[in-house]
């Protein structure tokens, strides 16, 4: 008697997979611990330092927007609302780790060692902005959406081959997961168990396109399943949840267990970039208000104040320090000689081909007059 083939309910299988990706949270909107089991091992001094970095970066964002409007900065992508996603993830890293940022991820590479004045020069398109200091393990922010995911896979594999105890960390937004580079990067890293951490900052909109119009997937974290790597979704407005997720992913990577994909559920309060984007055309005030109630700075401040680890004086000192640093950095950037055509030509190749050598000599003569 022939055996009957059991019919596979593909939709049911998908639902079973999607149910595994629940948002991890440690702090609620009132700064209360709601998940003790997910609470990371972090000292009081580290908690204070993380808060300082988040407050500092909020001021940096506000000042950068003003400088952009004054014509003193070029390209700028606002970061307010994403401080927990960006800074708590970075806080879980070590100096030897390598960061491959997207264009909104300037705060992470500043805290990883890139001088603030160089970040301003990068915004202006000055070649000095991409002249990374020795010992600072970062690449300049990637403008091509998702391209940094392929680069991160390669850097991570290189670290593995050299026996380095470090990881490569990269970021993209929800829109980046719709790019082919995203899939190629996580698949390659997964196949070779490269020590990489892939972070997707799901701020709900790829410029003006809502997440639900980009993919039929219920979560972005579940895209890890196809690459055979762990996927985690965390409350990206909760610094402790983000820190714990990245810390855990880093430990697994160093133990030879391969990469992790982390989706942080977050929100950018401002426009996509300062290049003419108007978020009021595709986002409602109700949605803005809903996410502002989840503000990472407010949530973390409440948590620390209850523990006696933060107060108004500490906040004001941090704000003033940020203002002073920004003022000094923009002055330093202003004092850098303006970029010349010969500068760009001379740094393109170790030895200039004859056609560029000719152009170099032509512009050198023009610039000397």
Instruction: Write the pLDDT tens digit of every residue in 13-25.
Output: 888 888 889 999 9
Average pLDDT rounded to a whole number, residues 263-274: 97
If residue 179 lies in a helix (H) or strand (E), which one and from where to where? none
Handedness of CA 334, 340, 345, 351 (dihedral sign): negative
Which of the four pLDDT bands, split at 50, 70 and 90, describes residue 6? low
The pLDDT of residue 4 is above 70: no
User: CB 298: neighbour CB atoms within 10 A?
Assistant: 15
If residue 40 lies in a helix (H) or strand (E), which one and from where to where? none
72 in active site? no
Contact 177, 231 (CB under 8 A): no
Burial class (CB in 10 A: 0-12, 13-18, 19+), 187: middle
Instruction: Write the pLDDT tens digit of every residue in 85-132.
Output: 999 999 999 999 999 999 999 999 999 999 999 999 999 999 999 999
Query: Distance between CA atoms of 144 and 87, rounded to whole angstroms?
Result: 22
**Percent of the chain with pLDDT strictly greater than 70:** 98
- Alpha carbon 92 to its chain centroid, in Å, reads 13
Average pLDDT rounded to a whole number, residues 295-320: 98
**Which of 67, 109, 113 lies closest to 86 in space, CA to CA?**
109
Q: What's the token pair of residue 62?
A: 């506000």
Which of the four pLDDT bands, split at 50, 70 and 90, describes residue 331? very high
Which of the four pLDDT bands, split at 50, 70 and 90, describes residue 10? confident
The pLDDT of residue 267 is above 90: yes
282 in active site? yes
Q: Which residues pair with 261 in a beta bridge?
A: 198, 231
Task: Delimit the domains of the chain by residue range.
Answer: 20-33+41-314+321-336, 339-369
Contact 259, 253 (CB under 8 A): yes
Average pLDDT rounded to a whole number, residues 283-300: 97
**What's the pLDDT score for residue 368?**
87
Contact 231, 258 (CB under 8 A): no
The pLDDT of residue 311 is above 70: yes
**What's the pLDDT score for residue 193?**
98
The span from the first CA to the last CA of the chain, in angstroms, equals 96
**What's the pLDDT score for residue 5?**
58
**What's the pLDDT score for residue 3?**
55
Beta-carbon contacts of residue 313 (< 8 Å; ≥ 6 apart): none
Q: Which of 272, 283, 299, 301 is catalytic?
A: 272
Q: Which of 211, 268, 283, 301 is catalytic?
A: 268
**What's the pLDDT score for residue 35?**
96
Question: What is the dihedral angle through the alpha carbons of 85, 198, 200, 278, rounded to the nearest 10 degrees?
Answer: 90
Average pLDDT rounded to a whole number, residues 129-136: 95
Helix boundaries (H) for the chain: 10-18, 44-69, 83, 89-91, 106-111, 116-124, 147-162, 180-191, 224-227, 239-254, 285-292, 296-306, 312-334, 341-346, 354-368
Average pLDDT rounded to a whole number, residues 242-266: 98
The pLDDT of residue 2 is above 80: no
Which of the four pLDDT bands, split at 50, 70 and 90, describes residue 8? confident
Instruction: Write the pLDDT tens digit of every residue in 17-74.
Output: 888 899 999 999 999 999 999 999 999 999 999 999 999 999 999 999 999 999 999 9
User: CB 319: neighbour CB atoms within 10 A?
Assistant: 15
**Which of 339, 338, 340, 342 lies closest to 361 in space, CA to CA?**
342
**What's the pLDDT score for residue 363?**
94
Q: What's the token pair of residue 312?
A: 């108004």
What is residue 74's DSSP assignment? Answer: -
**What's the pLDDT score for residue 51?**
98
**What's the pLDDT score for residue 12?**
87
Average pLDDT rounded to a whole number, residues 192-221: 96
**What's the pLDDT score for residue 1?**
52
User: CB 230: neighbour CB atoms within 10 A?
Assistant: 18
Map residue 331 onto helix, strand or coil: helix
If residue 229 lies in a helix (H) or strand (E), which one and from where to where? none
Handedness of CA 152, 156, 162, 165 (dihedral sign): positive
The pLDDT of residue 360 is above 80: yes
268 in active site? yes
CATH superfamily to which 20-33+41-314+321-336 belongs: Thiamin diphosphate (ThDP)-binding fold, Pyr/PP domains (3.40.50.970)
Query: Distance between CA atoms of 155 and 26, rounded to whole angstroms?
Result: 32
**What's the pLDDT score for residue 9?**
86
């Amino acid at each position: 008697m022939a055996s009957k083939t059991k019919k596979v309910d593909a939709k049911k299988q998908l639902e079973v997979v999607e149910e595994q990706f629940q948002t991890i949270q440690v702090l609620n909107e009132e700064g209360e611990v709601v998940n003790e089991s997910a609470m990371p091992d972090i000292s009081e001094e580290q908690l204070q330092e993380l808060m300082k970095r988040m407050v500092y970066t909020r001021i940096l964002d506000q000042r950068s927007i003003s400088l952009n409007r004054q014509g003193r900065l070029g390209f700028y992508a606002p970061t307010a609302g994403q401080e927990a996603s960006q800074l708590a993830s970075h806080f879980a890293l070590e100096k030897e780790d390598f960061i491959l940022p997207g264009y909104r991820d300037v705060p992470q590479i500043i805290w990883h060692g890139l001088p603030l004045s160089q970040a301003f020069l990068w915004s202006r398109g000055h070649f000095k902005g991409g002249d990374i200091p020795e010992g600072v393990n970062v690449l300049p922010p990637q403008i091509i959406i998702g391209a940094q995911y392929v680069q991160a896979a390669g850097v991570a594999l290189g670290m593995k081959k050299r026996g380095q105890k470090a990881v490569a960390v990269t970021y993209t937004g929800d829109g980046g997961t719709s790019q082919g580079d995203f899939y190629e990067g996580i698949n390659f890293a997964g196949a070779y168990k490269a020590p990489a951490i892939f972070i997707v900052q799901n701020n709900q909109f790829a410029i003006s396109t809502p997440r639900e119009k980009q993919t039929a997937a219920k979560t972005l974290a579940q895209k890890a399943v196809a690459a055979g790597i762990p996927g985690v979704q965390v409350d990206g407005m909760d610094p402790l949840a983000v820190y714990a997720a990245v810390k855990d992913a880093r430990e697994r990577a160093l133990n030879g267990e391969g990469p992790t994909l982390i989706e942080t559920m977050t929100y950018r309060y401002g426009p996509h970039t300062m290049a003419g984007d108007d978020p009021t055309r595709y986002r409602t005030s109700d949605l803005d208000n809903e996410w502002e109630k989840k503000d990472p700075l407010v949530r973390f401040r409440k948590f620390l104040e209850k523990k006696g680890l933060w107060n108004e004086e500490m906040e004001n000192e941090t704000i003033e320090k940020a203002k002073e640093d920004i003022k000094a950095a923009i002055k330093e950037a202003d004092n850098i000689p303006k970029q010349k055509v010969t500068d760009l030509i001379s740094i393109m190749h170790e030895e200039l081909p004859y056609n560029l050598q000719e152009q170099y000599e032509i512009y050198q003569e023009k610039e000397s007059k």
